[in-house]
Every structure is written in C-alpha cells, then in structure tokens.
Amino acid sequence: MGAESMPTVPGIEAGLDRTSGSTRTGTYLEIVHSWIVTVDHKRLGILYICYALVFLLVAGVEALMIRVQLFFPHNNFVSPFSFNRLFTMHGTTMVFLVGMPILFGFGNYLVPLMIGARDMAFPRLNAFSFWISAFAGLLLYYSFIGGVGLAGAGSAPDVAWFAYAPLTERAFSPGHTVDYWAVALVASGIGSIGTAINIIATVFCMRCKGMTLFRMPLLPWLYATTAFLVLVAVSPLTAAQAMLMIDRYLGGHFFDTQAGGSAILWAHFFWIFGHPEVYVLVLPVFAFANEIIPVFSRKAIFGYAAMVAASVGIGFISLGVWAHHMFTIGMTSFGNAFFTLSTMLVSIPTGIKTFNWLATIWGGKIRFATPMLFSVAFLFQWVIAGLTGIMLSISAWNWQLHNSYFVVAHFHYVLVGAIVFMIFAAIYYWYPKITGRMLNERLGKWHFWLMVIGFHMTFDVMHFPGLLGMPRQIFTYEPDRGWTLLNQIISVGGFIQGIAVLVFVYNMVHSYFRGKEAGPDPWDAWTLEWSTTSPPPDYNFVVDPVVASRRPLWDLKHPEDPDSAFE
C-alpha cells in the first residue's frame, strides 16, 4: 500500500509537486530574516511548536526542582520564596507557553493542509498572534531578572497559577511580579484570540472543493470547537486581568477585600476561563487521536457523526462547570449540587468519544509504531483521568480532595497522561510531514517506555499523598505524615520522565539530519496533508484538491471500494 501504488486521479495526485526543492538558499542572516517575516502557516506552526518545546524544557526543569525540594521533609534545596515562584511559573508556563502554543502550532500547520487550503484565512494576523505570544513568554520570564516582589529584586510571580485574590493585591504582593504575570497573560490572550478567529475563519471559509462540513476530517472540526471556546473563555480572563491592574494601580476595589471587594469574584472570573481552558487543551489532542488511531488500526473512525456531536457537546457543557473548582469556597448546597450534576454531564460525551476510539480499534489490524504506542497509552490514561474526574465532581467528597495532591495527580493525568502523550504521538506522526524525515523508531520506543514508566511512577503514586491529607503548593511537609516515601517515588519518576524527554529531544535533532527519508505518505494515511510532498511546498497544493469523501486518499488507494460510495 505504498505511495508508489497510488493510482492517478486528477485533483489530488496533481497536488504532489515532487520537483519542489526543500533546500533553501541564502545567507544565514537571510534565513533568519525569512523566518521572522514569514506569514506562511507552516512556518508559523513550526515556530509555535519550537517555541513551546523550549518552554516545555524550561517548565520541566522547574518541575524537577520542585521534586528535589519535596524529596525529603523539611528539605532546604530552595527557599519557600523560590519554591512558590517555581510552581507558579511551572503552571503558568505549561498552560500558556507550552500547551496553548504547541496546539495552536499543530492547528496552524495542519488545518489548512487537511482542508485543502493554501494558507490560513488571515496570514498576517497569524504572524501577529505568534509574535505577541512570543512576547508574552519573554515578558513573563523577564520577571526573573526585572521583577521586584515580596522577596526583593529578581523575583518571578509567586501567587500560584490561579492567583487567587486578594493575595495578588498590592497589600500582599508589593512590587511588580503580579504585574508581569497579569500583563503577560493579557498579551498571550490577545495572541490566542487572534489565532482562534483565524482558525474559525479558515475552517468555515477555506475548505477545498467538495469538502462539506461533514466531509471534513475530525481534526478541523475539533480545532473549530476549540477556537470558539478560546473566544468565549479567554475574554473573561483578559477582563479579570484588567480589573486586577485597575485594583493595583488605579485604586479599584474589585478584588480588594480590605475595601469591600470580593475574593470569590476573582475565583469565578478565573475559573470561567480556567475550566474551558482544560478543554481548549484537550480537544486538540482528541483531534490528534481521531487522526492517528484510525490510521494505525487501519479502519475508518467509528461513529464520525457521534464524534462531532460529542466534541461540540463537550464544548458547550464545559462552559457550565467552572464552579466545581470552588466547592469549598462556601457556595450554597444548591450551587454545589448544580455544579456536581453539570460536571458529571461532561462524562457522557467524553465517554462516547472513548468508546468510539475503542470501537475504531476493534476489528482493525493494529500497527504499533511509536505514534500508536503513545495513543494507546493516552487511551488508558484518559480513562483513569476521567474516572478521577468523576470522583472530584462528587462535591461532598471534593471537600476532602480539593487542593490536595489528589487533584494535582488528576490534572497531571489529564495534562501529561493525555495531552503531553498525545502531543508526542502527534510529533512522531507529523514530524515526517514537517521535516521530510522519519523520527528514529528505536529511540522513539525508548522514549515511549521511559515516559510510561516515569509517568506512572510519578502520577499514579501522587494520588495517595492527597488521600493522606497532603495539600498542594506546600514547599515542605512534616516527617510524621506518612508522605515521605510516596514523595520520593514521585520524584524519581519525575526524573525518569526528564530522561525520556532528553531522548526525545536527541531524536528530534538527530533525525532532522540523519533520519530516513519519509516520502509524501509514510504511514499510508488518508487525509489530504499526505497527498503533498514532505515538507509541503509554500503553496501546499499545486492544484486545489477536490474531495468526494472524508478519506480522499482512501478513495485514491481503493478505487474498488471508495468511501464516497457510502456517504
């Protein structure tokens, strides 16, 4: 089923411009210049991904420093002040400078290719969005040098990633560290909103001939849902940051409890953003799973329409669950009951998705290449993360679990076990398309198994200190609580994951120069991005593609049994 056996059909095969050279000429300066001024969606996608990977390493180092500090009770590896900065920066970085950019990067790269377009709808807005996001990251990290805070000069934000009021008010956070945090998030929010507008416009206006909404691959569908969520969710965050800055510099009292403001108001604003944000991060990785699992199971996705409905359903329901982060803040019993039920409702569409992936695998012929290995681990881990999510939605039990290490374990199961694992799967899957070379399978398997072992050592075990009463965000703990051994296992697991990521980085660099040539369609896949060269030319397709089904390349490869006959 290699690319060589592909029959020629006008409209798609003609898109394969094998003459387009990927070697770029010019001096070093010219190459750098061309990357800075580029408005090409593929190059911006690569910039987003590289930018996010750099911050992944930075925030990973922060996490490991946290783990060293917690290895022993009453440890003195870092001061309490530094520890508070470390976990604040780790959380903020992972969400705003790693998660969102890397997913937007893939969206940028893949959405136009998968819908047969030549670029995003607004290429210059796209470049603006990237560069303002990049500015946000640099600004946030400049606070390590330039921010004056509670503990003197050179102080990063130290108010936790949700920055509950009134700790962020000037009475409790003098200096400028909170300002760096607020302004950086506003800047990154502007970038996110720009990208969201761009993705929506691209998906709805730029599809190639024949691609109705219901012939679109699931990835653009999920990216469109995500983009709507970004529009709805990031705006309250930006508003809240503006209110915070008004409190801090213009004498406002929104969250200033000493002058009659409300601490709960901030919590509402933050979580109205914060909960949909989880889905902003997780829907794109569902999108990756929707592409990768069928290709490696050699079957079409099971229940396409149900998958679309479930994704859009998750998008809607996720807007009405935010106060499940606030079950202990003193809501009425009716409020607690309402958000218990609404949170539980999310499990229905997510359950549908999970079972549909299972049904896609069922009856297939599964190939366990590295992208599929990561996807399988994702499926297991996603099931566990969903079940601990149900436990946390039980508002009464949540009074025990809230703000404990159980919660930390749960959301790392989502953010690492599901999202990071699926991002790795996506990198192994699309790296050949992006660079023209395969990642090394052997190193990939090393990466995978180290990651799985490290992940489960860290995050399975992490549930237990939470059940034993260990609150999150503490720089040290008492030796008599029974948490010591558990924390040591967690820390060792963290370092194993660190090694796994180093193997991955080495694989990326090594394969870029030495990897096997990929060819246009190394995985024998079915969506449009595989119909053009790897890497694709600037204009993506020589001739605009025309499609007749959800799997245009399946139709090409199986003219005797085309999908278009059934749709």
Partner 1 sequence: MAALFCAGGVAAASPTSIFAPASTPARELNNLSIFVLAITGLIFVGVSGLLVYALVRYRARKEDVTEPPQVFGSLQIELSWTIIPILIIVVLFLTTARVLYKLQDAPEPATALDVTVVGHQFWWEFRYPQYNVTTANELHVPVSSTAAPRPTFMKLTSADVMHSFWVPELAGKTDLLPNRVNEMWIDPQKPGMYVGQCAQFCGSEHAKMLLRVYVDMPDQFAQWIANQQRAQPELIQPTPAAQDPSEESAPNAGNAGIVRAAASRIPPNSPATRGNIVAVSGEESQEISAQAGQYVFEHEACISCHTVAGTVATGRYGPDLTHLMSRETLASGAAPNTRENLLAWIGDPNQIKPGSLMPAMHLSDRQNEQITAYLLTLK
**Residues 395 to 424: which contact partner 1 by CB under 8 A?**
395-404
- Determine the 3-state secondary structure of 152 from DSSP: strand
| Residues in Cβ contact with 244 at an 8 Å cutoff, skipping those fewer than 6 apart | 163, 165, 168, 178, 182, 254, 255, 266
User: Minimum distance from CB of 308 to partner 1 (Å)?
Assistant: 12
Are 101 and 133 contacting, i.e. CB atoms less than 8 angstroms apart? yes
Residue number, 122 or 162, with CB nearest to partner 1 = 162
Residue number, 529 or 563, with CB nearest to partner 1 = 563
Spatial distance between the Cα atoms of 477 and 31, rounded to a whole number of angstroms = 51
Spatial distance between the Cα atoms of 500 and 85, rounded to a whole number of angstroms = 25
| Residues in Cβ contact with 82 at an 8 Å cutoff, skipping those fewer than 6 apart | none
Place of tokens 């992944």: 56
Residue number, 543 or 565, with CB nearest to partner 1 = 565
* 426 belongs to the binding site for partner 1 (CB under 8 A): no
- In the region spanning residues 52 to 81, those forming contacts with partner 1, defined by CB under 8 A, are 79-81
Which residue blocks in 468-547 are alpha helix, DSSP H?
484-514
106-114, 155-163, 242-250, 512-520 -> range binding partner 1 (CB under 8 A):
155-163
- Which residue in the set 150, 231, 242, 453 belongs to the binding site for partner 1 (CB under 8 A)? 150
Residue number, 380 or 512, with CB nearest to partner 1 = 380
- In the region spanning residues 312 to 341, those forming contacts with partner 1, defined by CB under 8 A, are 328-330, 333, 336-337, 340-341
16-24, 59-67, 153-161, 527-535 -> range binding partner 1 (CB under 8 A):
153-161
* Residue 337 neighbours by CB distance under 10 Å: 13
Q: What is the 3-state secondary structure (H, E, C) of 4-36?
A: HHCCCCCCCHHHCCCCCCCCCCCCHHHHHHHHH
User: Minimum distance from CB of 65 to partner 1 (Å)?
Assistant: 16
Residue number, 222 or 307, with CB nearest to partner 1 = 307
Residue number, 102 or 376, with CB nearest to partner 1 = 376
Residue number, 91 or 107, with CB nearest to partner 1 = 91
DSSP state at residue 209: B
Spatial distance between the Cα atoms of 391 and 388, rounded to a whole number of angstroms = 5
User: Minimum distance from CB of 16 to partner 1 (Å)?
Assistant: 22
Residue number, 230 or 361, with CB nearest to partner 1 = 361
| Residues in Cβ contact with 91 at an 8 Å cutoff, skipping those fewer than 6 apart | 160, 161
- In the region spanning residues 13 to 32, those forming contacts with partner 1, defined by CB under 8 A, are none
Spatial distance between the Cα atoms of 351 and 78, rounded to a whole number of angstroms = 42
- Determine the 3-state secondary structure of 404 from DSSP: strand
Dig out the tokens for 268 from the structure: 């509402």
- In the region spanning residues 432 to 461, those forming contacts with partner 1, defined by CB under 8 A, are 460
Place of tokens 């029974």: 482
User: Phi and psi dihedrals of 27, rounded to 5?
Assistant: -75, 170
* 471 belongs to the binding site for partner 1 (CB under 8 A): yes
| CA separation, residue 479 to residues 74, 81, 487 (Å) | 8, 21, 11
| CA separation, residue 344 to residues 337, 389, 457 (Å) | 11, 9, 28
Place of tokens 């969520």: 229
Residue number, 21 or 251, with CB nearest to partner 1 = 251
- Which residue in the set 68, 78, 239, 306 belongs to the binding site for partner 1 (CB under 8 A)? 306
* Residue 49 neighbours by CB distance under 10 Å: 24
User: Minimum distance from CB of 28 to partner 1 (Å)?
Assistant: 45
Maximum Cα interatomic distance, the chain, rounded to a whole number of Å: 75
- In the region spanning residues 81 to 100, those forming contacts with partner 1, defined by CB under 8 A, are 81, 84
Residue number, 226 or 395, with CB nearest to partner 1 = 395
Are 277 and 327 contacting, i.e. CB atoms less than 8 angstroms apart? no
Cα three-residue angle 402-404-406, rounded to 5 degrees: 95
95-103, 111-119, 354-362, 501-509 -> range binding partner 1 (CB under 8 A):
354-362
- Which residue in the set 474, 492, 542, 546 belongs to the binding site for partner 1 (CB under 8 A)? 474
User: Minimum distance from CB of 31 to partner 1 (Å)?
Assistant: 42
* 351 belongs to the binding site for partner 1 (CB under 8 A): yes
- Which residue in the set 383, 502, 542, 546 belongs to the binding site for partner 1 (CB under 8 A)? 383
* 242 belongs to the binding site for partner 1 (CB under 8 A): no
- In the region spanning residues 534 to 563, those forming contacts with partner 1, defined by CB under 8 A, are 558, 561, 563
What's the gap between Cα 511 and its chain centre? 24
* 36 belongs to the binding site for partner 1 (CB under 8 A): no
- In the region spanning residues 243 to 302, those forming contacts with partner 1, defined by CB under 8 A, are 257-258, 260-264, 297-300, 302
* Residue 484 neighbours by CB distance under 10 Å: 16
Dig out the tokens for 151 from the structure: 């503990």
103-111, 464-472, 496-504, 536-544 -> range binding partner 1 (CB under 8 A):
464-472
Residue number, 362 or 539, with CB nearest to partner 1 = 362
Residue number, 193 or 263, with CB nearest to partner 1 = 263
User: Minimum distance from CB of 525 to partner 1 (Å)?
Assistant: 13
* 502 belongs to the binding site for partner 1 (CB under 8 A): no
- Which residue in the set 6, 39, 64, 344 belongs to the binding site for partner 1 (CB under 8 A)? 344
* 359 belongs to the binding site for partner 1 (CB under 8 A): yes
